[in-house]
Structure 1
Amino acid sequence: MALRQKTLPAVRSTGEDHRATPFELFFDLVYVFAITQLTGSMARERDANGVFQGLLMLALLWGTWSGYTWLGNHSRADGGLLRGGMVVAMAAMFVVGLTIPEAWADGPGALVLVGAYLVVRWVHLMVFAVAASGDTGLRRQIAITWLPMTASAALLVSGTLLGSGTQMLLFAVALVVDWVGIYLTARNGHWRLRSPAHMTERHGLFLILAIGESVIAVGAGAAGQPVSAALLLAAILGIAVAVCLWWLYFDVVAGAAERRLSGVRGEEQVILAVEAYTYGHFPIIAGILLTALGVEGVVAHAVEGEPLGVFSALALHGGVALYLVGHLLFRLRMQRTLGRRRLAAACAALAAAPAAVLLPSLAGLAGVVAILAALIAVERARHASRNGQGRASVGDRPPAAGLIT
C-alpha cells in the first residue's frame, strides 16, 4: 500500500512568489490555434452573424483558459497530476480548434466540438478537486461549480442537436448560465488566490498571444499578393497597431494592476481577481481579436486601393474601441476611477468608422494608428510632467496612483 502511495502523481502547492511555468505557456499554444481558427471563420463569413458566433465561441474558450489559470495558481502545472490532466485538456482543446469551422454547420462537427469542450471542463474540475485535497472549503466550491457547468453542458448539447438558429441561441444561454452561475457562487465562495503575480503574469502572456493574432492577420491578408509599396505600407501600419495595443497595456497598466492586486488580502483579493481578470479581461481580448480581423481586411485590399468597406471598418474601429473600453472597465474595477483619455480615444475610433468605410483601406488603418499613437503620446507626456514635478516614477508609485488617468 505504501508503495502505491509513493507512485501516485504528486500535487505541488504554490506560494505567493509563484510565477507562470514554461508548461503553462506550452498549454496556451492550443488556444493560439483556436483563436486563429476563430479569426479565419469570421473573415470568411464577413457579417454580423459570423462575428457574434466568433465572439460567443471565444467566450467559451476564455472560460476554460481562466479555469486552468486558477488551477495553475493553486498548484504547480508542470508536474504530476496537473501536468497529466492539462495534457489531456490540450488534446481536447486542439480538437475544439479543429472543429471550429464546422461549429455552426449541419453535421457532426458541432457535436464533436461540444464533446471536446466538455472534456476540457470536466478534466479541470476533477483535477482541481484532487489538488484541493485537505481544503474543505475549496472542495465544496468546486463541487458547487459543477451545477452551472452541468446546466450549461445540457444547453450546449441541446443546441447542437437542434441546430440552425436554435443552436446559437442555446449556446448564448449556456454561456450566460455558466458565467453568471460561477460568478455568483464565487462572490461568497472559497476560491484561493495564492499568487497575485502568477495571475497577472498569466493574463499578460495570454494578451501577448492574442496581440500576436493581429501580426498573423497581416500575413494572412498579404498571402498570395505581389510585393508592392501599398502592401508594405499596410504591413507596417498593421504592426504599428499591434505595438500600440501592447504598449497601452504593458507600459503602465500591467505593473500597476499587479501591485494593486498584491495590496489586498483575503476574500477582497479573490473577488478583485475574479472581476478584474477572469471577467474583466474578456472585452480586452475580444477587442484584440476584432482589431486583427479588421487589419486582415485592410491588408487584403491595400493593393487595389479600394474603400475599406463596412465590415472591415467596423471590425477595425470597433475592435480598437472595445479594447479601450475593456481598459476602462479594468481600471474602474481596480481603482474605482474612469480613464478619461482612453474613453476619448475609444469615442474617436468609433467616430472615425463611417469615414473609414468610404476611404481607401490604408487611410482607415492609418487613422487608427494615429489615434492610438496620439493617446500614447498624451499619456507619456502626462507621466513625464508628473515626474518633472518631483512625483514618484511609474515603477515606484503606490498602487492607488499607478494606472493611467
Structure 2
Amino acid sequence: MPLLPRTFRAARVSDESHRVTTFELFFDLVFVFAFTQVTGFMAHEHSFPGILQGMIILGMLWWSWVCYSWLANQTHVDEGIMRLGLSAVMVAMFIASLAIPEAFTDLEGGLSGPLVLALSYVVVRVLHLVLYAYAAMEDKPLQRQVAKTSVAMASGSTLIVMGALIGGPAQTWFWLAGLGLDVALTYLTSTRGNWRVHSAAHWTERYGLVVILALGESIVAIGVGASAEPVSVPILLGALAGVGLSICLWWLHFDVTAIAAEHRFAALRGGARAAAAVDAYTYLHLPLVAGIVLSALGVEDVLAHVEETEGFGVLGAFALFGGTALYLLGSASFWRRVGGGWKKWRLGGAGALLLLLPVAAQLAPLAALALAVGVAAVLVAVESSLYAETRSRVRAR
C-alpha cells in the first residue's frame, strides 16, 4: 500500500504514447480570451506605439503558454497536484487578461492595471518553475535545467515589475527589456541543455492547437468588427474576405507543412529533438501567432472603415500586410528548422506583401483587404498545384 495518496506522489513521467488531454484544451481556452484582449488593446490604441505594446503583451502571453507546453509533455498535467497547479495558473492568467486594457494606461478608481498584469505574470512563471521542479524530482539533469531557467525568469520578471511600478513611457522599454532578457537567457541556457520531449505527437499537436486558437481569435475579431456596424453589403464582403484570409493562413500551415514537420520531428531523438522543439516550436511559432493577431487587427480595422473610399492608411496596411507577411516568414523559417528547405514561394509571398504595403495604404479599406486575400489565395493555389504529389504522399502516411 503506498505511503502517500497519488495526489502527493512524484508526478508521472510521460512517454511516446502521451497525447493532449481535455484538461490541456481547457487550460488553453484562457489564452483565447487573452489573445482577443491583445487585439482589442491594439485596436483601441490605434498607433504604432500601441502595436509595439500589444506585441510585448503577446510575447508575455506566449512565453507563459510555452512554459506549460513543456511541462505538459514532461508529465501528465491532468492528474493530482499538476491539475491543481494549472487550475491556479488559469486563474492568474485570466486576471492578467482582464488587466490587458490597462496594461500601459492605468485607470483611476481601481487597482494599478500594469501592476496587476505584471504580478499575475510573475505568479504564472513562478508556479511553472515550482511545478516543473516537482515533475523533475527524480531527474537530476532536468532539475539543473529548471534551476538555470529560474535565473532567466527572475531577471526578466524583475524588470517587468519595475516597469509597472515606474509607469509612463519608461514602462514600455522596461517590459521590452524584461521580456527580451528572459527569452534570450532561456535560449542560451537551453542550448545543449537537458530538456525532455517525451512525446513528439503530443508536442506537435499542442503547438498546432495554439495556432488554431489564434486563428479562432481572428475569426472572433472579424465577428466583433462586423457586429459593431449595421449589416450591409460592404460589411458582408469584408467579413467574408476576412474569413477567407484566415482559411488561407490555415491552409498554408496545416494542409502539408504541419504534418510533414511532425513526421520529421518524430524521427528525432534525445538532444536533437529537444533542440528542434526549442527552435522550431517554442521560438519560431511565435511569428505565426503574432502574424495572425496582427492580421486580425488589420481586418478589424477594415471592418471599422469598410464603407470609406479614402486610403486605408499606413497603420491598417502595416497590420494587415505586415502581419500576413510575418506569418509567411515564420512558416518558412519553421519548415527550414525542422529539416526542410526554404519555402521560396512563401518567402516570395511575404516579399510581395511588404512591397504592396504602401500601395494598400492608398487603397480603400475593402480593396486593401481584397488585395491581401488575393495574394494569400494565389500562394495557396500555386503551392497546391506545384506540390500536389508531395501533398498526397505526406497526407497518406
What TM-score bracket applies, with the shorter chain setting the length? over 0.9
> How far did residue 5 of structure 1 move?
4.7
The one-letter amino acid of 2:28's match is: D
Cα distance in 1 between the residues matched to 2:373 and 2:250: 13
> Residues 273-294 of structure 1, C-alpha deviation per residue, up to 9 Å, x if partnerless?
1000000111111000000000
> How far did residue 13 of structure 1 move?
2.1
Of 140, 143, 167, which residue of structure 1 is paired with 2:144? 140
Alignment match, 2:171: 167
Alignment match, 2:303: 299
Q: SS of 2:99's equivalent?
A: helix
Cα distance in 2 between the residues matched to 1:202 and 1:5: 30
Cα distance in 1 between the residues matched to 2:221 and 2:392: 39
1:22-37 to structure 2, matched below 5 A, reads 22-37=22-37
Does the C-alpha gap of structure 1 residues 7 and 257 become closer, same or farther in structure 2, counting only changes over 3 Å? closer
Of 335, 338, 356, which residue of structure 1 is paired with 2:339? 335
Is contact 1:10-1:81 (8 Å) kept? no
Structure 1 stretch displaced more, 162-171 or 48-57:
162-171
Q: SS of 2:217's equivalent?
A: helix
Cα distance in 1 between the residues matched to 2:317 and 2:159: 34
Q: Percent identity?
A: 47
Is contact 2:294-2:320 (8 Å) kept? yes
Is contact 1:345-1:371 (8 Å) kept? yes
Is contact 1:308-1:356 (8 Å) kept? yes
Cα distance in 1 between the residues matched to 2:63 and 2:300: 26
Cα distance in 1 between the residues matched to 2:258 and 2:101: 34
1:164-243 to structure 2, matched below 5 A, reads 164-243=168-247
Alignment match, 1:322: 326
> How far did residue 392 of structure 1 move?
6.9
1:51-62 to structure 2, matched below 5 A, reads 51-62=51-62
The one-letter amino acid of 1:35's match is: F
The one-letter amino acid of 1:99's match is: A
1:234-273 to structure 2, matched below 5 A, reads 234-273=238-277
> How far did residue 328 of structure 1 move?
1.6
> How far did residue 332 of structure 1 move?
2.0
Is contact 1:313-1:353 (8 Å) kept? yes
Is contact 2:241-2:373 (8 Å) kept? yes
> How far did residue 203 of structure 1 move?
0.7
Q: SS of 1:295's equivalent?
A: helix
Structure 1 stretch displaced more, 212-221 or 54-63:
212-221
> How far did residue 252 of structure 1 move?
0.3
Alignment match, 1:309: 313
Cα distance in 2 between the residues matched to 1:225 and 1:315: 21
The one-letter amino acid of 1:118's match is: V
Cα distance in 2 between the residues matched to 1:326 and 1:316: 16
Is contact 1:10-1:80 (8 Å) kept? no
Of 368, 390, 394, which residue of structure 2 is paired with 1:364? 368
> Residues 291-310 of structure 1, C-alpha deviation per residue, up to 9 Å, x if partnerless?
00000011111133443222
1:122 paired with 2:126, answer yes
Structure 1 stretch displaced more, 328-337 or 247-256:
328-337
Between Structure 1 and Structure 2, how many residues are aligned? 393
Does the C-alpha gap of structure 1 residues 6 and 382 become closer, same or farther in structure 2, counting only changes over 3 Å? closer
Cα distance in 2 between the residues matched to 1:201 and 1:392: 21
> How far did residue 2 of structure 1 move?
5.8
The one-letter amino acid of 1:83's match is: R
Cα distance in 2 between the residues matched to 1:344 and 1:231: 31
Cα distance in 1 between the residues matched to 2:45 and 2:280: 32
Cα distance in 2 between the residues matched to 1:252 and 1:6: 41
Cα distance in 2 between the residues matched to 1:111 and 1:8: 33
> How far did residue 4 of structure 1 move?
4.3
Does the C-alpha gap of structure 1 residues 392 and 106 become closer, same or farther in structure 2, counting only changes over 3 Å? closer
1:273-284 to structure 2, matched below 5 A, reads 273-284=277-288
The one-letter amino acid of 2:71's match is: L
The one-letter amino acid of 2:98's match is: L
TM-score (norm 1): 0.93
> Residues 83-142 of structure 1, C-alpha deviation per residue, up to 9 Å, x if partnerless?
110000000000110001111124611111111111101111101111112111111111
1:13 paired with 2:13, answer yes
Alignment match, 2:98: 98
Is contact 2:62-2:286 (8 Å) kept? yes
> How far did residue 396 of structure 1 move?
5.0
Q: SS of 1:144's equivalent?
A: helix
Is contact 2:7-2:79 (8 Å) kept? no
> Residues 39-85 of structure 1, C-alpha deviation per residue, up to 9 Å, x if partnerless?
00100111110000000111111111001000000111211111110
The one-letter amino acid of 2:281's match is: Y
Is contact 1:328-1:343 (8 Å) kept? yes
1:65 paired with 2:97, answer no
Name stretches of at least 5 consecutive residues in structure 2 with no aligned partner.
none
Is contact 2:6-2:80 (8 Å) kept? no
> Residues 327-373 of structure 1, C-alpha deviation per residue, up to 9 Å, x if partnerless?
12112212262111001111111122112112111111111111111
The one-letter amino acid of 1:112's match is: V
Please tell me the root mean square deviation across aligned C-alpha atoms, in Å. 1.7
> How far did residue 157 of structure 1 move?
1.4
Is contact 1:308-1:364 (8 Å) kept? yes
Q: SS of 1:393's equivalent?
A: helix
Cα distance in 1 between the residues matched to 2:2 and 2:359: 73
The one-letter amino acid of 1:31's match is: F
